[in-house]
C-alpha cells in the first residue's frame, strides 16, 4: 500500500470511528482554551479539566487574571506539574493580552507564539480549535502513530507536522488531529500497541511481525 493510500485509509477509518470530535479541554472562549492548553503540557487533559474550574473561578479573563499573584495562580495549578513556570506564564500572558491585544487572544499564529509559555503546538491548537483556522498540532500520540503508519520518518515533531500537512487535505486538519489523538488513546497507545496490534496498524501492514520503534516527540 502506497503512503497516499495509507493516508486515505486512515482518513476514512477515523471518520467512521470518530464522526464527532469534541475538544477534550473544557473551556468557554479563546482565552480559557489558551490557558487550558498551556496547562496541558506534560499533563493529562483529565487533570487539567479538574484544575481549571477553580482557576477560572478565580479569574476567567485576562483583565482579572493579570491582577492575581503568581503564587495564587500557582496554588491552584500545582497538580498540573511545572506549576511555577505555568503560573508565571499565565499571569504574564494575561498582562500582554491586555496591554498589547485589547484583552483579546489574537487569531494569529506568530502573535500567539510570542506569548509566554505558548509554543508552536499550543498556538496551533488555539488557532484550530478556537478560531477554526486550519492547523495540525502534533502531540505525542500523533507523532507516534504517524511513524507506526509510515506517514513520516519521525525525525522531529516539526517534520511530522510538515509530512502530515502534505498528505491530508487542508480542510481535514482540524478534525483529523483530534481523531488521531482519540485513536491513539483508545487503540494505539504507547504500551497497548507496538505497530502490530491495533486494527489500523494490522490493516496497513498485514505482514508486519516485529514491533516498531518510534522516536519520541
At 204, is the pLDDT very low, low, confident or very high (cuts 50, 70, 90)?
very high
Question: Which tens digit of pLDDT belongs to each residue from 37-67?
Answer: 999 998 999 999 999 999 999 999 999 999 9
The 10s digit of each residue's pLDDT in 86-110 is 999 999 999 999 999 999 999 999 9
CA distances in angstroms from 209 to 114, 164, 191, listed in the order given: 45, 25, 17
- What was the pLDDT predicted at 216? 86
CATH architecture entry for 3-20+136-204: Orthogonal Bundle (1.10)
> CA nearest 168: which of 199, 135, 216, 128?
135
Give the 3-state secondary structure of 73-134.
HHHHHHHHCCHHHHHHHHHHHHHHHHHHHCCCCCCCHHHHHCCCCCCHHHHHHHHHHHHCCC
Catalytic residue numbers read 121, 139
- Tens digits of residue pLDDT in 18-29: 999 999 999 999
Q: Cell numbers 473561578 correspond to what residue?
A: 57
Enumerate the CATH 1.10.1670.10 domain ranges in the chain, comma separated.
3-20+136-204
The string of pLDDT tens digits covering residues 143-187 is 999 999 999 999 999 999 999 999 999 999 999 999 999 999 999
* Domain 30-131 belongs in CATH node 1.10.340.30: yes
Amino acid at each position: 500500500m502506497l503512503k497516499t493510500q495509507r493516508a486515505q485509509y486512515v482518513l476514512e477509518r477515523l471518520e467512521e470511528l470518530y464522526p464527532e470530535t469534541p475538544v477534550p479541554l473544557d473551556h468557554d472562549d479563546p482565552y480559557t482554551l489558551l490557558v487550558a492548553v498551556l496547562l496541558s503540557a506534560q499533563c493529562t487533559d483529565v487533570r487539567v479539566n479538574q484544575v481549571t474550574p477553580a482557576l477560572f473561578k478565580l479569574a476567567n479573563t485576562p483583565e482579572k487574571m493579570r491582577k492575581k499573584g503568581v503564587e495564587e495562580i500557582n496554588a491552584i495549578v500545582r497538580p498540573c506539574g511545572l506549576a511555577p513556570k505555568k503560573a508565571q506564564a499565565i499571569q504574564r500572558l494575561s498582562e500582554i493580552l491586555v496591554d498589547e491585544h485589547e484583552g483579546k487572544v489574537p487569531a494569529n499564529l506568530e502573535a500567539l507564539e510570542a506569548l509566554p509559555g505558548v509554543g508552536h503546538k499550543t498556538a496551533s491548537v488555539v488557532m484550530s480549535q478556537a478560531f477554526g483556522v486550519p492547523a495540525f498540532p502534533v502531540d505525542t500520540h500523533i507523532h507516534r502513530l504517524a511513524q507506526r503508519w509510515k506517514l513520516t520518518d519521525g525525525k522531529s515533531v516539526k517534520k511530522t507536522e510538515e509530512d502530515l500537512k502534505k498528505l491530508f487535505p487542508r480542510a481535514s486538519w482540524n478534525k483529523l488531529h483530534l481523531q488521531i489523538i482519540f485513536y491513539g488513546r483508545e487503540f494505539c497507545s504507547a504500551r497497548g500497541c507496538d505497530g502490530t496490534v491495533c486494527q489500523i496498524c494490522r490493516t496497513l501492514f498485514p505482514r508486519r511481525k516485529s514491533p516498531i520503534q518510534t522516536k519520541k516527540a
